[in-house]
Amino acid sequence: MPHFNILRNRARKVYKELIRLSPQHPDPNYQLAKKTRECFRSTTTRLESIKDQQTKEDEMAKAVAKAQWIRKEIEALIFLARYRELKRRYGDSRNLDGQS
């Protein structure tokens, strides 16, 4: 089981990556940075209330894994939006008859 400081550094890294991704989010009304801050604050508050160190490490590992998964999903969403925009601008290069 990773130590608490290692998990804390991973959480900080994922937090910074999510904040950096927020301006690129396809929906400008989603407010990714604000939701990221709120989520990390609530998780921190919840973890501070846990007394057992092993339980705290387990919960933090789960929270970091979930944050990493969310980061990957947001990256995929951004790439999909870019792909759709490029396809809209330049069209589909394939011939629609099935011939090249």
Q: How confident is the model at residue 94 (pLDDT cuts 50, 70, 90)?
A: low
Q: Is residue 42 over pLDDT 80?
A: yes
Q: Is residue 12 over pLDDT 90?
A: yes
Length of the chain: 100
Q: What pLDDT is recorded for position 9?
A: 95
- What is the per-residue pLDDT across 55-77, written as a single tens digit (0 to 9) for each? 999 999 999 999 999 999 999 99
How is the chain split into domains, by residue range?
Answer: 4-90
Q: How many Å apart are CA 24 and CA 29, to the nearest integer?
A: 12
Q: pTM of the entire structure?
A: 0.82
| Cα 51 to chain centroid, rounded | 28
The closest alpha carbon to 25, from 64, 67, 80, belongs to 80
Q: What pLDDT is recorded for position 2?
A: 60
